[in-house]
Amino acid sequence: MKKLLLATTCLALSSVTSMAADMTMPMQTKAPAYAVPAFSWTGFYIGANVGGGTTTDPTANNSEGASGTLANGKGAVAGGQVGYNWQDGNWVFGVEGEGFWSNIKGIENSKFFDTTGTFLSTASLENRYDFTVAARAGIAFDRTLIYAKGGWAWGNYQANSLFSSTLNSNTSGSNFGGTLDGFLVGVGVEHALTRSWTVKLEYDYIGYGTKEVNVNSCTNGACTLTSTTTISSTKQLFKVGANYLFDMGGARY
């Protein structure tokens, strides 16, 4: 009986000692879950784009008051852009500069006959390159940005006409051109594929103003300045592109 009582007392004392030791140990807390930061559009970016466009109703009026409509144009464009974004909440603001080569060209061919022979006429208007600078503003839905842009554009145009006859090898024609400038408006959507690479789809409308340019008249390849004319044009562009967004220290996953 004494041995049983002694064993019970020792077991009780062991349990109390173990409980006291557990109470003196610091409480273990579960590590908090890592919070994934929201994507940030803030930073500089550089990229490239390709697409196509049209020129609509480019008109010319010569110094004598005659006027005519040149060929509407269509073709491809390719270029690059550089800019900066700044994000405040869901709003994203920025500025962007862009330059691109253009192969938008319109050609009109005509043929007519009279008693002396056949006459051929060709007229073309080509948009060779453009530069733009614009402000951007949009709303970000995490990795997707919907934006609008507005600014100014400069575009180089060249026009040529050629007239020939089946009666002889003589040819005549004229050429003129210059750099037009006007307003730019556009809309687009951009999506971040990774923390640095984005892709975008954009539509732009450019309304070039009127400009007076010199007209050269040519006969058998020899050209002389003969008059002036005023030209103007509007332009629509559809582009797809990609940007590399530099990390400026903002949270980006």
- Please give the average per-residue pLDDT across 214-235, as a whole number: 83
- Please give the average per-residue pLDDT across 53-69, as a whole number: 56
How much is the pLDDT for 26? 53
pLDDT in tens, 123-147: 788 899 999 999 999 999 999 999 9
How much is the pLDDT for 84? 97
How much is the pLDDT for 4? 44
Confidence of residue 120 (pLDDT cuts 50, 70, 90): confident
Q: What is the mean pLDDT of the chain?
A: 80
> Does 220 score more than 80 pLDDT?
no
Output 185-188 pairs: Cβ under 8 A, ≥24 positions apart.
Answer: 185/148, 185/149, 185/150, 186/134, 186/148, 186/149, 186/150, 186/237, 187/147, 187/148, 187/149, 188/146, 188/147, 188/148, 188/149
pLDDT in tens, 22-46: 545 454 555 555 555 678 999 999 9
Residues 77, 80, 82, 83: what is their CA dihedral angle, to the nearest 10 degrees? Answer: 30
> Does 78 score more than 80 pLDDT?
yes
> Does 248 score more than 80 pLDDT?
no
Higher pLDDT among residues 3 and 153, named by residue: 153
Joined together, the tokens standing for residue 152 give: 């100014």
Mean pLDDT check: name the lowest of 6-10, 144-148, 157-161, 200-204. 6-10
- Please give the average per-residue pLDDT across 165-185, as a whole number: 82
How much is the pLDDT for 227? 82
How much is the pLDDT for 32? 55
Confidence of residue 70 (pLDDT cuts 50, 70, 90): low
Give every CB contact of residue 40 below 8 A, 6+ residues apart in sequence.
87, 250, 251, 252
pTM of this structure:
0.75
> Does 172 score more than 90 pLDDT?
no
